[in-house]
Amino acid sequence: MRLVLVGGGGHASDILGALEAIEANGGPRIVSGIVADAEIDMSRFKDRGVRQIGTIDDLSKLDVTHFVAAVGYPVGRKAVAIRAEAAGLKPYCVIHPSAWAPTGVAVGPGAVILARACISPGAVIGSHAMISNMAIIGHDCRVGDYVSVMPGAAVSGDTHLDEGCLIGTNAAVIEKRRVGAWATVGAGAVVVSDIPPNVTAMGAPARF
């Protein structure tokens, strides 16, 4: 398997860090390089054994087989995932060794779970979803495709996070609530009632 990171920003650096941790725990070195639509600042990747090997339009010509959509925000992640799959690449799931999830938790293709995240029993993580550092997903949650749960966010049990929504840094969602598709919950917000699709909700309690 030959893996490419599609995206060259801070989220790509986080994903590479998870892959480096897997390698340090005896896993294989699988990253072939990074692709992005424009030339990227490689300073965050200095001395980490990767380089930019082309643009997204080059994917079908590169000697790679799998990809991770390495974009932190849902709309951009969906866009690059669609392009990478159209180029014939297969999505690859990355789970940091320090993340915790019990046996039987369903994690979709291309999902990323970063350091010290905690996924409780019965949760389902969708395709290309991103659970960031130290985030918590409660029991029996349904996390949709392309969802972003940012660092330190806490999502209580039996919650539904619909496709493409974003739960901001240190935000909290209480149990049995629903955050609609492509909605954004701001950093530090506290969700105590359902959030409709395509809105931004902020504050404690969160208002849209």
Pairing of strands 118-119, 136-137: parallel
pLDDT for residue 41: 86
What is the pTM for the complete model shown? 0.95
pLDDT for residue 64: 95
pLDDT for residue 124: 97
pLDDT for residue 118: 97
Distance (Å, whole) CA 101 – CA 118: 6
pLDDT at 28 over 90: no
Give ranges for CATH 3.40.50.20 in the chain. 3-92
Q: Rounded mean pLDDT of 106-125? A: 97
Q: Which CATH architecture has domain 3-92?
A: 3-Layer(aba) Sandwich (3.40)
Under 8 Å between Cβ of 11 and 71 = yes
According to CATH, the superfamily of the domain at 93-197 is Hexapeptide repeat proteins (2.160.10.10)
pLDDT for residue 175: 97
Q: Rounded mean pLDDT of 104-123? A: 96
